[in-house]
C-alpha cells in the first residue's frame, strides 16, 4: 500500500513538472484594464505578438475596462493560477486604487505575482497659450500669484494625471482647480479651447498641438527628454528637480502561479521586449521599454504604494 501511494505521488509530481516544462500549451490571455488605445493597451500589444511567436501560442489581448480598472484586476485575482490568464497592470490602478477605494476587492501584493515591468511613459506639462508664461518657472510663479484662477484637466478622478498634478501643486505651493474628464481625448479638446488651461499627459496626446503652436509644453516629467519632443526640457532642467511623474505598465499573474511558470514567462517577456522591432514600435508610440524582473517589480510596487498613499491622503482625493 505504501509503495502504491508513493508511486501515485511520484506520478503526480512528474506530471506537474512536465506540465510546467511544457508551458505554455494553450492560448494566453492578457487582461487590459483600459479600453483600446493609450499606454496600457499599447504596451499589451507591443508584447502580445512577439510573445506569441516565441511561445508558439496565441496571445489574446482582452480589454476589460470598467470600475477604474477594478473589473480586470478582480478577474485576474480570481483566475486559476496557471499562467494562462495574466494582468497588464497600470501603475495608477495598481498603487493608486488601494488608497482611493475602501474595501477594494483585490490586494495589490497578496493577489498578484509580479512577472515583469514592461514599459514606462513620461508625461508633459501642457498649457494653453493664454497663460502668460513662457517656461516652467514663470508658470509656477503665475500660478502662485493667481490661486484658483487656473483649471487643470485630468483623465478622471484618481487617474495618474489627477494625482500627478496634485503632487505638483503640493511641491510648488500652487492651487489649481481640478476638472476631471473621461479619458485624454475630451480633456485635450477642452485644453485646446481654453476651457481648462493645464493638462499633464503623455507626449503623443499633445505633441502635434505643441508643434502646431496650439499648446505650450513647459517640461517633461521623467529623468530624460522625450524622443517625441526632444526640444522640451525635463522638470529638473526647467528648475523643478524634485518633481517626477512616470506611468509604468507591468505584467502580473494570479498569486499562487508556480514559480517555474513565472520564470518561463519572465524569460520569454524579456526576449520579446528586447527585439529591435518592438523598440521601434514603442518609440513611435512615445513609450519607453524598461524591462525589469519580478523582484524589481515587486519592490517598485511596494515603494509606490507607500508614496501614492501618502500623496492621495494629503490631497484628500476620493474615488468617484
Domain's final residue, options 205, 220, 235: 220
Please give the pLDDT value at position 157: 79
Whether residues 50 and 103 fall in one domain: yes
pLDDT classification of 299: cutoffs 50, 70, 90? very high
In whole angstroms, give the CA distance from residue 192 to residue 138: 20
Whether residues 208 and 256 fall in one domain: no
Please give the pLDDT value at position 318: 72
CA angle 220, 222, 227 (to 5 degrees): 65
In whole angstroms, give the CA distance from residue 97 to residue 95: 6
pLDDT classification of 15: cutoffs 50, 70, 90? very low
Whether residues 158 and 66 fall in one domain: no
For residue 97, the SS3 value is helix
Residue 227: which of 295, 137, 289 has the closest Cα? 289
Beta-sheet pairing, 112-122 with 288-292: antiparallel
Whether residues 111 and 154 fall in one domain: no
User: Residues 44-55: what's their mean pLDDT?
Assistant: 97
Asked whether residue 25 carries a pLDDT value surpassing 90, the answer given is yes
> What's the pLDDT tens digit per position in 195-242?
999 999 988 789 889 999 999 999 999 888 888 889 999 999 999 998
Whether residues 136 and 213 fall in one domain: yes
- As for how many domains the chain has, the answer is 2
Asked whether residue 312 carries a pLDDT value surpassing 80, the answer given is yes
**Position 242 in a domain:** no
Asked whether residue 295 carries a pLDDT value surpassing 80, the answer given is yes
Q: Which three cell numbers stand for residue 209?
A: 498641438
Whether residues 138 and 279 fall in one domain: no
In whole angstroms, give the CA distance from residue 204 to residue 42: 12
Q: What CATH number should be reported for the domain holding residue 152?
A: 3.40.190.10
Please give the pLDDT value at position 158: 77
Please give the pLDDT value at position 20: 47
Q: What CATH number should be reported for the domain holding residue 307?
A: 3.40.190.150
Please give the pLDDT value at position 18: 45
**Position 229 in a domain:** no
Whether residues 154 and 298 fall in one domain: no
**Position 235 in a domain:** no
**Position 14 in a domain:** yes
**Position 51 in a domain:** yes
> What's the pLDDT tens digit per position in 99-154?
888 889 999 999 999 999 999 988 999 999 999 999 999 999 999 999 999 999 99
Domain range enclosing 100: 2-120+248-315
Whether residues 184 and 262 fall in one domain: no
Whether residues 112 and 173 fall in one domain: no
Amino acid at each position: 500500500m505504501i509503495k502504491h501511494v508513493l508511486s501515485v505521488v511520484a506520478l503526480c509530481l512528474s506530471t506537474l513538472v512536465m506540465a510546467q516544462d511544457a508551458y505554455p500549451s494553450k492560448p494566453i490571455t492578457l487582461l487590459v484594464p483600459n479600453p483600446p488605445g493609450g499606454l496600457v493597451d499599447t504596451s499589451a500589444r507591443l508584447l502580445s505578438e512577439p510573445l506569441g511567436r516565441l511561445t508558439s501560442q496565441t496571445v489574446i489581448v482582452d480589454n476589460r475596462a470598467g470600475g477604474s480598472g477594478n473589473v480586470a484586476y478582480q478577474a485576474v485575482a480570481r483566475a486559476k493560477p496557471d499562467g494562462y490568464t495574466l494582468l497588464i497592470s497600470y501603475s495608477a490602478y495598481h498603487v493608486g486604487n488601494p488608497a482611493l477605494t475602501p474595501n477594494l476587492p483585490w490586494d495589490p501584493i497578496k493577489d498578484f505575482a509580479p512577472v515583469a515591468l514592461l514599459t514606462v511613459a513620461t508625461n508633459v506639462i501642457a498649457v494653453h497659450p493664454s497663460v502668460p508664461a513662457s517656461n516652467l518657472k514663470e508658470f509656477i510663479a503665475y500660478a502662485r500669484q493667481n490661486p484658483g484662477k487656473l483649471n487643470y484637466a485630468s483623465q478622471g478622478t484618481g487617474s495618474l494625471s489627477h494625482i500627478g498634478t496634485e503632487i505638483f501643486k503640493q511641491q510648488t505651493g500652487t492651487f489649481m482647480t481640478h476638472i476631471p474628464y473621461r479619458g485624454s481625448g475630451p480633456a485635450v479638446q477642452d485644453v485646446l479651447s481654453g476651457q481648462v488651461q493645464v493638462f499633464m499627459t503623455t507626449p503623443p496626446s499633445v505633441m502635434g498641438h505643441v508643434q502646431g503652436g496650439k499648446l505650450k509644453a513647459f517640461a517633461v516629467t521623467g529623468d530624460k527628454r522625450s524622443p517625441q519632443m526632444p526640444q522640451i526640457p525635463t522638470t529638473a532642467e526647467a528648475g523643478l528637480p524634485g518633481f517626477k511623474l512616470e506611468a509604468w505598465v507591468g505584467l502580473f499573474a494570479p498569486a499562487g502561479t508556480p514559480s517555474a511558470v513565472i520564470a518561463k514567462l519572465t524569460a520569454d517577456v524579456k526576449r520579446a521586449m528586447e527585439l529591435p522591432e518592438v523598440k521601434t514600435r514603442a518609440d513611435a508610440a512615445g513609450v519607453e521599454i524598461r524591462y525589469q524582473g519580478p523582484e524589481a517589480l515587486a519592490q517598485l510596487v511596494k515603494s509606490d504604494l507607500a508614496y501614492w498613499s501618502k500623496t492621495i491622503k494629503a490631497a484628500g482625493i476620493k474615488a468617484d
